[in-house]
Amino acid sequence: MEKSYRAELVGVFGCPVEENPTGVMEEAAFAKLGLNYRYLTIRVEKGNLKPAMEAVRAFQMRGVNLTIPHKVEVLQYLDELSPAAKIIGAVNTVVNRDGKLWGENTDGKGFLLSLEQEGVQVGGKHVVILGAGGAARAIAVEAALAGAEKLTIINRSRERGEELAALLQRETPAQAEYLAWEGAVKIPEGADILIQATCIGLFPHVQDKPEIDYDTVASSMVVSDVVFNDPHTLFLQEAQKRGAKTVNGLGMLVNQGARNFTLWTGEEAPADVMTETLKKEFGL
Ligand code: NDP
């Protein structure tokens, strides 16, 4: 190819977005492969997403990530959706395919890959999820589509929890139920995988942990947390004390970023460089 001074543009739109670490990880990956790409961390306030998405087309950006508060609103500005994004009803990654904007949700896929990398499959398993927000929805739908047999959603707000359980029951082959979160909730006997998908424990609230009956966490369970900063959450520490195998949220963050990298560039992502960059960023 002839030399080009024009960089390919990708980035993230969100508000707040200042503490989003994705750009550092993606830029390190571009540098590793010698790709002339730039990842821009852009503050787009609620109400400004429409012109921002028009700019994606006008600037011929390769794609963007969406974060709070844009993951749902963005759907109306897209031309196509992946099957999972359609069910989840939220998009965190957009790919510009010759002017057509395609929406995907890589959070759940990134999470499932982080389990697989630890030798854990969701097929045929009973999966229990704490939370029913964006991350929980993406994980629950992908786990159901990947063959989980049963999903139990435990969420503080009943309405949101019931809505997610009903969505899973309606749109996926899995069996789903809502369990009310009252006091120190007991994890159902026979659960195989327990996932903490609320924001509890996220920096700076590292001293917080979800209120569950930790003595109902069995050593046979795989216990995972989506919180990645700091990844050694008190929740995972409690699970480790009960002998459970644990998987932290760093893998999910790297895997969704690696997937986005491949969707935009068509190249395999240097996941090891991305992991090391993030660890350095978080002082780990
Ligand atoms: P949302 O705001 O969409 O959802 C938040 C969820 O947390 C809701 O279920 C909410 O319950 C619950 N919650 C919040 N505070 C409490 C509390 N004090 N007690 C009980 N439940 C509570 O957020 P997201 O789903 O987008 O994000 C959740 C977490 O996932 C964040 O920590 C985020 O950093 C992490 N994340 C990690 C990723 C990774 O790559 N590792 C990727 C994406 C997100 P309710 O419905 O009752 O309000």
Helix (H) or strand (E) holding 263: helix 250-265
Nearest CA, atom 36, ligand 1: 226
Tell me the CA–centroid distance for residue 130 and ligand 1, in Å: 9
Position 4 scores a pLDDT of 83
Instruction: Give me the tens of pLDDT residue by residue for the chain, a chain 284 residues long.
Output: 677 899 999 999 999 999 999 999 999 999 999 999 999 999 999 999 999 999 999 999 999 999 999 999 999 999 999 999 999 999 999 999 999 999 999 999 999 999 999 999 999 999 999 999 999 999 999 999 999 999 999 999 999 999 999 999 999 999 999 999 999 999 999 999 999 999 999 988 999 999 999 999 999 999 999 999 889 999 999 999 999 999 999 999 999 999 999 999 999 999 999 999 999 998 98
Instruction: Calculate the alpha carbon distances from 243 to 54, 132, 239 in Å.
Output: 51, 26, 7
Tell me the CA–centroid distance for residue 231 and ligand 1, in Å: 15
Distance CA 103, CA 79 (A): 8
Distance CA 180, CA 209 (A): 18
pTM value is 0.95
Position 1 scores a pLDDT of 61
Query: 71 catalytic, yes or no?
Result: yes
Tell me whether the omega of the peptide bond preceding residue 16 falls within 30 degrees of 0, making it cis: yes
Q: Does the CB atom of residue 246 touch ligand 1 within 6 A?
A: no
Distance CA 264, CA 37 (A): 10
Query: What is the distance of C-alpha 157 from the center of its chain?
Result: 21
Nearest CA, atom 31, ligand 1: 199
Position 17 scores a pLDDT of 95
Q: Is 208:200 a contact under the CB 8 Å cutoff?
A: yes
Q: Does the CB atom of residue 200 touch ligand 1 within 6 A?
A: yes
Tell me the CA–centroid distance for residue 189 and ligand 1, in Å: 24
